[in-house]
């Protein structure tokens, strides 16, 4: 056998296959048939759960014909009502619905995430409600056998969203982080488009295992099989292409060889991780009591709480300052402002004083840096930026090389730390599949483009002349 599963598929073994989105049982039937072809005297038990009653009935009838235990096929929503909760399986296959929201089961899923944590199915995090693909993936992961008992393997078809959706700290990123840091992702295969009846979007097969062979440990294989297809003679909805036997064999060989080439890339699991650091720059403001800036006082919400007489008195008091004097130091202006406001018979609160400073200020690169009471520079929120630092280098090295040469006054917000490891920067994971297989195609020469445009222009001109003749 060339499957790498000799121990599980030895004669007289009993293996289990599970599909949480069983449909009419296609994956289950094909899985059993394949195992029976490559293994002698292996008993296969099939398990599944399906939401649609009609599909469930067809699947159950098919299992009955095949001599399987029909009680192993369940009816219901896998995410909200797992009817095989305590069961673990050897092999799992699934083609969950692409990009389907899970709002109807949001309460049950969220409650399980909060109350059970990692003892439940959704410990690492929850994806956005608009796409539940990763929930099905985590559901399958929860049903893996202990590696000491041989572990489990998963094959699941997903759209492109689970590869990269969600930034550092998001539910999607945390799920990818969990899978990669626990070394469960074995390979991801990009399939040709137009493979499914109801959609032509790009799809990917994720192959997961919690008992990787030694040579694959700590690594992920990406296989680009987008060109491995044959055209159908007659389209079925959006399905216009299929993978023929020769291309299936080629894809399997790419996987089995575990070598780098134009269609296969191998990366350490850490290659997909990064730290998102927050880069701050100092706040620099000038201040002036000019008529234009005084007019902005009326737009400040904290000052709108003053009555009309108080607003007028405030305006008049500030107007006593020299309208032509431009202050480039906040402390100096605050001192002058305080003296101007002293005659008022009411006192401004801290939010109102802040509103006055905001109305009378403008950003100025030549102004002094605004500091807090401890003398530390204040950050300008409008200049705040984020940088993604690869996990294979230190935050400080990256910062000195990529940031400081461009903005020498910048600094890293040390308070933004990762919840799990406590280090500066929030850890995120994404798998930019297409980037690793991108091949630059140089644009056509300008002369060739000009010639095509001239030909089109001449053709249009000739058509117009023909109409006017």
Q: Answer yes or no: are the C-beta atoms of 334 and 342 closer than 8 Å.
A: no
pLDDT tens digits for range 78-135: 999 999 999 999 999 999 998 889 999 999 999 999 999 999 999 999 999 999 999 9
**289 shares its domain with 261:** no
Give the orientation angle of helix 26-38 with respect to helix 53-65, to 10 degrees.
Answer: 30
**259 shares its domain with 326:** no
d(CA 185, CA 174): 14
pTM, full prediction: 0.86
| HSE toward the beta carbon, residue 460, CA cutoff 13 A | 6
**188 shares its domain with 92:** yes
Q: Answer yes or no: are the C-beta atoms of 91 and 31 closer than 8 Å.
A: yes
Instruction: Please indicate, yes or no, if residue 376 is contained in any of the structural domains.
Output: no
Instruction: Please indicate, yes or no, if residue 407 is contained in any of the structural domains.
Output: no
**Residue-level length of the chain:** 469
Q: Which of 363, 394, 410 is the last residue of a domain?
A: 363
Give the three-class secondary structure for 360.
coil
d(CA 352, CA 426): 35
Beta-carbon contacts of residue 161 (< 8 Å; ≥ 6 apart): 99, 131, 133
Q: Which of 307, 330, 363 is the last residue of a domain?
A: 363
Q: Does residue 151 surpass a pLDDT of 90?
A: yes
In sequence order, what are the beta bridge partners of 203?
159
Q: Which of 308, 343, 363 is the last residue of a domain?
A: 363
pLDDT tens digits for range 324-365: 999 999 999 999 999 999 999 999 999 999 999 999 999 999
Instruction: Please indicate, yes or no, if residue 302 is contained in any of the structural domains.
Output: yes
| Amino acid 337: pLDDT | 96
Give the orientation angle of helix 330-341 with respect to helix 308-319, to 10 degrees.
Answer: 120
**179 shares its domain with 243:** yes
The CATH number that applies at residue 91 is 3.40.50.150
Q: What average pLDDT does range 308-313 have in this prediction?
A: 94
Q: In the structure, what pLDDT confidence band is assigned to residue 469 with cuts at 50, 70 and 90?
A: low
345 by Cβ neighbours in 10 Å (0-12 / 13-18 / 19+) ranks as exposed
Q: What is the mean pLDDT of the chain?
A: 94
d(CA 270, CA 217): 12
Count of CB atoms within 10 A of residue 53's CB?
9
| Amino acid 236: pLDDT | 84
Q: In the structure, what pLDDT confidence band is assigned to residue 3 with cuts at 50, 70 and 90?
A: low
Q: Which long-range contacts (CB under 8 A, 24 or more apart) does 61-66 make?
A: 62/24, 62/25, 62/29, 63/25, 63/28, 66/29, 66/32
Provide the domain count of the chain. Answer: 2
3-state secondary structure labels for all residues of 269-333: HHHHEEEEEEEECECEEEECCCHHHHHHHHHCHHHHCCCHHHHHHHHHHHHCCCCCCCECCHHHH
| Amino acid 2: pLDDT | 47
Q: Answer yes or no: are the C-beta atoms of 233 and 242 closer than 8 Å.
A: no
User: Among 251, 438, 286, 292, which Cα is nearest to 362's?
Assistant: 286
Torsion angle of alpha carbons 402, 407, 409, 411, nearest 10°?
A: -40
d(CA 89, CA 84): 10
**119 shares its domain with 265:** yes
**267 shares its domain with 300:** no
Percent of the chain with pLDDT over 70: 99
- What percent of the residues of the chain are helix, what percent strand, and what percent coil, each to the nearest 5? 40, 20, 40
For the chain, the farthest-separated pair of C-alpha atoms sits apart, in whole angstroms, at 99
| Amino acid 1: pLDDT | 37
**188 shares its domain with 299:** no
| Amino acid 465: pLDDT | 87
pLDDT tens digits for range 411-445: 999 999 999 999 999 999 999 999 999 888 888 89
| Amino acid 246: pLDDT | 95
Torsion angle of alpha carbons 169, 170, 172, 173, nearest 10°?
A: -20
Instruction: Please indicate, yes or no, if residue 223 is contained in any of the structural domains.
Output: yes
Q: What average pLDDT does range 285-305 have in this prediction?
A: 95
**211 shares its domain with 323:** no
Torsion angle of alpha carbons 456, 457, 458, 462, nearest 10°?
A: 100
**Tokens (6 digits) for 226:** 């987008």
Instruction: Please indicate, yes or no, if residue 35 is contained in any of the structural domains.
Output: yes
Instruction: Please indicate, yes or no, if residue 448 is contained in any of the structural domains.
Output: no
**108 shares its domain with 205:** yes
**94 shares its domain with 142:** yes
Q: Answer yes or no: are the C-beta atoms of 346 and 310 closer than 8 Å.
A: yes
Residue 247: C-alpha distances to residues 86, 182, 204, 454 (Å):
38, 31, 16, 43
Q: What average pLDDT does range 129-155 have in this prediction?
A: 95
d(CA 363, CA 349): 24
User: Among 38, 89, 117, which Cα is nearest to 210's?
Assistant: 89
**Tokens (6 digits) for 331:** 């402390």
Domain that residue 331 falls in: 285-363
Instruction: Please indicate, yes or no, if residue 242 is contained in any of the structural domains.
Output: yes
Cα-flanking dihedrals φ and ψ of residue 346, to 5°? -140, 160
**292 shares its domain with 265:** no
Instruction: Please indicate, yes or no, if residue 437 is contained in any of the structural domains.
Output: no
Give the three-class secondary structure for 443.
coil
**324 shares its domain with 302:** yes
């Amino acid at each position: 056998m060339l499957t790498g599963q000799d121990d599980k598929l030895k004669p007289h073994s009993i293996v289990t296959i599970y599909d949480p989105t069983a449909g009419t049982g296609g994956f289950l039937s094909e899985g059993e048939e394949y195992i029976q072809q490559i293994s002698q005297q292996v008993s296969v038990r099939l398990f599944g759960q399906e939401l649609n009653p009609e599909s469930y009935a067809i699947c159950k009838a098919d299992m009955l014909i095949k001599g399987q235990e029909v009680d192993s096929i369940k009816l219901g929503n896998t995410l909200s009502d797992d009817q095989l909760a305590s069961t673990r399986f050897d092999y799992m296959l699934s083609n969950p619905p692409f990009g389907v929201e899970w709002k109807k089961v949001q309460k049950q899923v969220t409650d399980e995430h909060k109350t059970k944590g990692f003892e439940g199915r959704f410990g690492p995090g929850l994806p956005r409600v608009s796409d539940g693909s990763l929930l099905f993936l985590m559901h399958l992961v929860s049903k893996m056998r202990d590696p000491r008992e041989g572990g489990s393997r998963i094959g699941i078809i997903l759209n492109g969203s689970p590869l990269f959706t969600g930034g550092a700290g998001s539910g999607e990123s945390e799920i990818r982080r969990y899978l990669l840091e626990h070394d469960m992702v074995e390979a991801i295969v990009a399939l040709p488009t137009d493979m499914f009846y109801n959609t032509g979007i790009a799809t990917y097969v994720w192959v997961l295992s919690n008992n990787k062979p030694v040579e694959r440990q700590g690594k992920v294989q990406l296989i680009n099989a987008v060109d491995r297809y044959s055209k159908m003679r007659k389209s079925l909805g959006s399905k216009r292409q299929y993978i023929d036997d020769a291309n299936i064999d080629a894809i399997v060989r790419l996987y089995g060889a575990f070598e780098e080439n134009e269609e296969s890339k191998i990366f350490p699991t850490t290659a997909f991780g990064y730290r998102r650091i927050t880069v701050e720059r100092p706040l620099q403001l000038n201040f002036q009591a000019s008529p234009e800036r005084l007019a902005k006082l009326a737009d400040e919400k904290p000052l709108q709480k003053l009555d009309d007489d108080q607003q007028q008195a405030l305006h008049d008091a500030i107007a006593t300052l020299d309208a032509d004097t431009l202050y480039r130091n906040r402390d100096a202006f605050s001192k002058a402002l305080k003296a101007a406001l002293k005659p008022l018979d009411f006192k401004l609160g801290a939010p109102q004083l802040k509103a006055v400073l905001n109305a009378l200020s403008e950003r100025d690169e030549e102004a002094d840096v605004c500091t807090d009471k401890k003398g530390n520079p204040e950050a300008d929120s409008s200049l705040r930026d984020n940088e993604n630092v690869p996990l294979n280098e230190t935050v400080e090295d990256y910062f000195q090389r990529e940031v400081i040469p461009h903005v020498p006054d910048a600094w890293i917000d040390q308070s933004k730390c990762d919840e799990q490891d406590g280090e500066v920067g929030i850890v995120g994971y994404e798998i930019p599949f297409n980037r690793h297989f991108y091949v630059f195609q140089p644009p056509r020469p300008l002369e060739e483009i000009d010639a095509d445009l001239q030909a089109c222009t001449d053709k249009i001109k000739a058509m117009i002349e023909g109409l006017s003749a």
